[in-house]
Chains A and B, each alone.
Chain A
Amino acid sequence: QKEVEQNSGPLSVPEGAIASLNCTYSDRGSQSFFWYRQYSGKSPELIMFIYSNGDKEDGRFTAQLNKASQYVSLLIRDSQPSDSATYLCAATTGGFKTIFGAGTRLFVKA
């Protein structure tokens, strides 16, 4: 069974701090990786995607991918209370099959 694993949290950080969210995946054939944010009762919203090893930055968000270690991470700089949500990591294999982790709950304290 191909899996994506995340720590369920909650991860609690003070406002203005860096939040670090981690994810591992089991299928070495995975080609693309995504981070989604999901507020309670809402649907997932795309935050970042990354295809190549290394870092990708977009505003306060940085995604990191290490295919050798089968590891993906998301850093959120200058965390805000509005960032409090569940963050879903996802990996796509074969161009179309996307497997989601169970998500990490992030709580940013004001």
Chain B
Amino acid sequence: DTGVSQNPRHKITKRGQNVTFRCDPISEHNRLYWYRQTLGQGPEFLTYFQNEAQLEKSRLLSDRFSAERPKGSFSTLEIQRTEQGDSAMYLCASTQGNNQPQHFGDGTRLSIL
């Protein structure tokens, strides 16, 4: 069990640029989640995959955000035309089955200049 892996760990980019993050879940986990966390807040749900199917997407997520999980393994989260308000820690978590604890990766910290 190598845990959930996310990269890059840090991303600094200029406003208006596109960024893409990757998450590799624990291998036997079929469920994968993306969260966003800002200072002083808990993780905020963005989207959820069961295998390769994206089953739910937060209404808070604008059209600039898209996520994929091809082949039900790793996942990518892309943010297009980044804005200052996108600066946050982006967390990925995985789990297996209903109501099970989620295991988090180390996160990707995004800073928008």
**Contact residues of A with B, CB < 8 Å?**
4, 8, 31-32, 34, 36, 42-46, 49, 51, 88, 90, 92, 95-103
The verdict on B103 contacting chain A, using a C-beta distance below 8 Å, is yes
Q: What CA separation (Å) do A34 and B89 show in the bound complex? A: 21
Given contacts A98-B45, A102-B40, A102-B42, contact A32 B99 (CB under 8 A): yes
Q: What CA separation (Å) do A101 and B101 show in the bound complex? A: 15
Q: What CA separation (Å) do A38 and B44 show in the bound complex? A: 15
Given contacts A102-B41, A103-B42, contact A97 B105 (CB under 8 A): no
CB contacts under 8 Å to A, within B80-113, are 89, 91, 98-107
B101 CB to nearest A CB, Å? 5
Query: Which residues of chain A are near B104, meaning CB under 8 Å?
Result: 36, 43-45
* Sample (18) of A-B pairs whose CB atoms are under 8 Å apart: A8-B40, A32-B99, A34-B101, A34-B102, A36-B104, A43-B107, A44-B91, A46-B102, A92-B99, A96-B31, A96-B98, A97-B45, A97-B48, A97-B56, A99-B45, A100-B35, A101-B42, A103-B41
B10 CB to nearest A CB, Å? 11
- Interface residue SS majority, chain A: strand
B37 CB to nearest A CB, Å? 9
The verdict on B74 contacting chain A, using a C-beta distance below 8 Å, is no
Contact indicator B99/A95 (Cβ below 8 Å): yes
Contact indicator A43/B105 (Cβ below 8 Å): yes
Given contacts A34-B101, A95-B98, A95-B99, contact A43 B106 (CB under 8 A): yes
Q: What CA separation (Å) do A83 and B40 show in the bound complex? A: 18
Query: Which residues of chain B are near A95, meaning CB under 8 Å?
Result: 98-99
